[in-house]
Amino acid sequence: MSAFALARRLRAGETIYAGWCMIGSPIVAETIAREGFAAVVLDAQHGLWDVASLIAGVGGVTHAESAPMVRVPHGDFALVSRALDFGAEAIIAPMINSEADARHFVAAAKYPPLGERSWGPIRAMPLQGRTAPVDYMREANEGTLTLAMIETATALDNVDAIAATPGIDALFVGPYDLSIALSVGTAQDVHAPRVEQAIDKICAAANKAGKIPGIYCRDVPGALAMATRGFRFIVAGNDMTTVREATVAQLKGLKG
C-alpha cells in the first residue's frame, strides 16, 4: 500500500472498512491489518495504547500494507502531532463540539497555511517512503486525514460549522456517546429514533461540506447497513469484541 493511499481512496469516493484495536498490542494490530483491512485504528482514548506501543503498532500496521490511524484522548492535541510524526495517516479526535475545537484539532494536525503542526516526522517519512523533507511536507496536508468525532448534543447543533472548518477532512460518528448524550445519560441505545436521525444528519452535513462521512459500528451487519446509508469510512467492530466472541463460540463448541 503506497503512502497516503487511504486519503486518496476516500477522496476518490471509495467506501473503506477499518479494523479497530483497543488491546494495545502491536502484534494484534499487525495481524488484523494483514488480513486485508485498508486501515486499522489504534484507540489511545479508551484502549490500552501508550506511546511506545503506538510507535510499534503504527510501524506494524504500515508494514502489513494497511493505513495506521490513531484515536487520541479527549483534548490531547499534542498527541495528534506526535502520532502523525510516528507515521499515522489519520487522526480521530473525540468530542469535537464546536468550530473552535475543530480549529484546534486542525492546528495540531496540519502544516501551514492550514494549521500550525511543528516539523518532525522522523518516523513517518521512512515509513511512507519519503527521504526529502519537502516531498513529505508537500503531500502531508492532503495525505493525512483529520476525523472530527461528533458525539454530543452540542456537536450535533454545531455540525455544519465543524464540517465547514478548513482542514477537517471527515466527520466521524461516535454512536455510543451520542446515544448517551441524546438520552441525557439514561440509555445507550444506538438504534433509538433520535440517535438514528442524528446519524443521518451528521452524514448529510459531511456530504454537504464535501467531507468524508465516517462511523463506528459494533459488527459487520451494522457496518454494511451504514454503507447503504451513505457512510464511506466505517469501522466494523474491535479486537476485544472479536476475541471475546470467538472464545465464547469455541467454548460453546467444546461443551457441545
Catalytic residues: 46
- The C-alpha atoms of residue 55 and residue 239 are separated, in whole angstroms, by 19
Q: Which residues contact 198 (CB under 8 A, 6 or more apart)?
A: 156, 178, 182
Q: Which SS3 state, helix, strand or coil, does residue 73 take?
A: coil
What is the phi/psi pair of residue 39, to 5°?
-150, 150
Q: Which SS3 state, helix, strand or coil, does residue 173 take?
A: strand
Q: Which of 20, 17, 92, 31 is nearest to 63 (CA)?
A: 31
Cβ-contact 57, 39 below 8 angstroms: no
